A = this chain, B = another copy of it.
Amino acid sequence: MEYKSEEEFLKNYNSDEFEKLSLTADILIFSISNEQTNNYRKLGKKHFSVLLVKRDNYPFKDKWCLPGGFIGIDEDIETAAKRILKDEANIKDIYLEQLYTYSDPKRDPRMRVISTSYMALIDKNRLNTKLTNNASWFNITYFQDEKSFNVTLDNGEEILKFKIKKTLREQTTDRYKFTILENKSIAFDHPLVIVSGIERLKNKIEYTDVVFNMMPEYFTLGELQQVYELILGKKLLDPAFRRIIKHKVEKTDKIQTGGGHRPSAMFRYKKR
């Protein structure tokens, strides 16, 4: 059939010509947790943590998964992601970045669902809202060798472990492909999402200022360094760290005292 104009074409267009599918947004919410210490001298230990939600419905009933949900027909994915953050985790106004779109036809046993993952970064201490009931923060520990990525998640009650295989792909010169090797407690392909999110954050922390989205307004350089070390998974040398960071922060009048050691100046994020 021949149309004479765009308007005429659109008027006659039948959108059922192609098979349709559903789209979800899954959100990796990362933050930093503080552990209390019993030694008056020592600093509280920090943890890198992710928010998971316990599923109370099939499929994957009783397993943990990332906060997520279906995209409405009239909203874009980012808007949906923000709605989900609010609904599932009672969180709003935070850093949000699109990561990757997962499209394995078998990734959801119900039907064809494609999922776009987002990474959100927050400072837990700034949250004045409560989490919803079935949401919980899990501390992340991980280690990797050349071929695999081992992750342990711990919320104080449950410990979830999974293992991901990293393989270099043929055509591409640099990208890894991730495959789940072991996983009992996490729903869907979310272990892949978690690992690729960690990798992304690890890269971005080095060349952007995203880390400050996880920091309180005032912080000491020791605290900031701890966060870098957690995410990068390695110790940094104090003078080197201070050299790198000094262009990104400004010293304030505030001083943190109370530990059994020299008090620390508090700093604040300085843009540009």
Contact = CB atoms under 8 A, between A and B. Distances in A.
A101 interface: yes
Interface in A88-106: 93-98, 100-101, 103-105
A35 interface: no
A212 interface: yes
Given A76-B105, A173-B210, A175-B97, A9 B112 contact: no
Residue from A58, A59, A208 whose CB has the most chain B CB atoms within 10 Å? A58
Contacts of A71: 21, 103, 114
Nearest to A271: B173
A171 B22 contact: no
A152 to B, nearest CB: 26
Contacts of A100: 98
Interface residues of A, number: 54
A38 interface: no
29 contacts: A3-B58, A6-B61, A6-B109, A9-B61, A10-B58, A15-B22, A18-B22, A18-B70, A19-B72, A19-B73, A20-B21, A20-B22, A21-B73, A71-B114, A75-B105, A76-B103, A76-B105, A78-B103, A94-B171, A95-B171, A95-B172, A96-B172, A97-B172, A98-B100, A173-B209, A173-B210, A173-B213, A174-B204, A174-B210
Interface of A: 3, 6, 9-10, 13, 15, 18-23, 58-61, 70-78, 93-98, 100-101, 103-105, 109-112, 114, 116, 171-175, 204, 208-210, 212-213, 271
